[in-house]
Amino acid sequence: MFLPLSRLVTIVFLVVSALALTTLSSERLLAQERTLTVYTYESFAADGGLGAALRPLYEERCGCSLEFRTFEDAGTLLNTLKIERNQSTADLVVGLDNNMSAEAKRFFRPHGLGRNYNRLFDLPVPWTDSTFVPFDFGWFAFVYDKTKVLSPPQSFAELLASPLRLVIQDPRTSSPGLGLLLWVRKVYGNNAAEAWKALFPKVVTTTKGWSEAYGLFLQGEADMVLSYTTSPAYHAIVENDNNYRAALFAEGQFVQIELAAIAKTTKHPALAKDFLRFLVSPAAQNLVATHNWMFPILGKDQNVLPPDIFENIRRRMANVPTLSMPSGTVLQNRRAWIAEWRNAGF
């Protein structure tokens, strides 16, 4: 039996079309299978941020795609993980910190990079955690413009006694805000409630995240803003403006270590682990200082060389106590300490 030519052509066309659609569907499926979803904070993924700088390097390395889902601040990110639980679409989370790690640990799996990685890190405090991988660090500080604040406070006590107007962040939604909560508690202990009451009249506003707070400060809404000792480096390098300074306090500065971890919900554990390995490589770490404006966790012995201004800040910090608190202590007391903060009027 022979088919008419017209019908034969139609059948061939349908077969070819079906094969083409199957191939296209396979390619789309493959692309989806090679997409790594990263939860992080806004400035990490923004143009000029560290995530934006790392993306093309890692996508070329892995033959995959990075997809960032962003949140205003690390505190908001953590709150989202609590709500989503096992419904999260995250493969990786980048940007929680050492102060949140005990509370967040249940959402992640061990990184599997081995103990040798911890020995490479040039951190101001020891790091041995097997779940979270540090990728940068810094010290919290109140930042000011030296042309406007002529006599900056040199201690927390002087700050509380000053007439300066401040912008800070909410400890429930912001990692710097949480850092300040712990900093005050570390310095004042059981007298923290009195310290908050003294600080409250000086606070112009409390924002949900760092970006909003820093923007208000730059607009002249406050004399000082809660930020980092490295924030002036941005103004000096990018804007050629050397007027910004970070106030160093006699009581010490509270340290923050930013972390990355593999989500329990990941569909790509091997790829996620590879990203962590990349994140602590010299290629990635050499971008940290001028893209995330924090200190890299690798040092000169690993050929990581931030601009000289970072070395100057590090030398200054050698004369100032580094303050920290076990994450387990934070987990046990966070609610009570936030209630103490709110009772002061915040």
The domain spanning residue 76 has which CATH number? 3.40.190.10
Q: Are residues 182 and 261 in the same domain?
A: no
Tell me if 1 is assigned to some domain.
no
pLDDT category of residue 47 using cuts at 50, 70 and 90: very high
Q: Are residues 103 and 188 in the same domain?
A: no
**For 90-109, what is each residue's pLDDT tens digit?**
999 999 999 999 999 999 99
Tokens in use for 260?
Answer: 């990355």
pLDDT category of residue 221 using cuts at 50, 70 and 90: very high
Residue 11 pLDDT: 41
Closest CA to 127 of 115, 109, 139: 115
What is the secondary structure of 299-345 as a DSSP string?
Answer: -GGGT----HHHHHHHHHHTTS-EE---HHHHHHHHHHHHHHHHHTT
User: What is the domain range of residue 111?
Assistant: 34-137+256-308
Residue 169 pLDDT: 97
Tell me if 3 is assigned to some domain.
no
Quote the number of domains for the chain: 2
Q: Are residues 231 and 273 in the same domain?
A: no
DSSP letter for 240, please.
Answer: -
Q: What distance in Å separates the CA atoms of residue 129 and residue 95, rounded to the nearest whole number? A: 16
pLDDT category of residue 117 using cuts at 50, 70 and 90: confident
Tell me if 13 is assigned to some domain.
no
Tell me if 5 is assigned to some domain.
no
pLDDT at 22 > cutoff 60: no
Q: Are residues 248 and 262 in the same domain?
A: no
End-to-end alpha carbon distance in the chain:
88
Q: Is 16 left (phi over 0), alpha (psi -120 to 50) or beta?
A: alpha
Tokens in use for 324?
Answer: 């920290």
pLDDT category of residue 114 using cuts at 50, 70 and 90: confident
Q: What distance in Å separates the CA atoms of residue 345 and residue 328, rounded to the nearest whole number? A: 27
Q: Are residues 243 and 282 in the same domain?
A: no
Residue 69 pLDDT: 97
**For 226-261, what is each residue's pLDDT tens digit?**
999 999 999 999 999 999 999 999 999 999 999 999
DSSP letter for 64, please.
Answer: S
Tell me if 14 is assigned to some domain.
no
Tell me if 191 is assigned to some domain.
yes
- CA-based diameter of the chain, in Å? 101
Q: Are residues 42 and 185 in the same domain?
A: no
DSSP letter for 132, please.
Answer: -
Average pLDDT over residues 62-78: 94
pLDDT at 3 > cutoff 60: no
Q: Are residues 146 and 238 in the same domain?
A: yes
pLDDT at 23 > cutoff 60: no
pLDDT at 6 > cutoff 50: no
Residue 13 pLDDT: 39
pTM of the model: 0.88
Q: What distance in Å separates the CA atoms of residue 99 and residue 178, rounded to the nearest whole number? A: 8
Tell me if 149 is assigned to some domain.
yes
Residue 33 pLDDT: 64
Q: What distance in Å separates the CA atoms of residue 231 and residue 253, rounded to the nearest whole number? A: 14
Tell me if 189 is assigned to some domain.
yes
Q: What distance in Å separates the CA atoms of residue 63 and residue 163, rounded to the nearest whole number? A: 55
Q: Are residues 228 and 80 in the same domain?
A: no
pLDDT at 155 > cutoff 90: yes
Average pLDDT over residues 22-34: 42
Residues paired with residue 322 on neighbouring β-strands, in sequence order: 253
Q: Are residues 91 and 223 in the same domain?
A: no
Can you list the positions of beta strands (E) in the chain? 35-41, 65-71, 92-97, 108-109, 133-145, 166-169, 203-207, 224-228, 244-247, 253-263, 295-296, 322-323
Q: Which of 7-11, 85-89, 166-170, 219-223 has the lowest mean pLDDT?
A: 7-11
pLDDT at 116 > cutoff 90: no
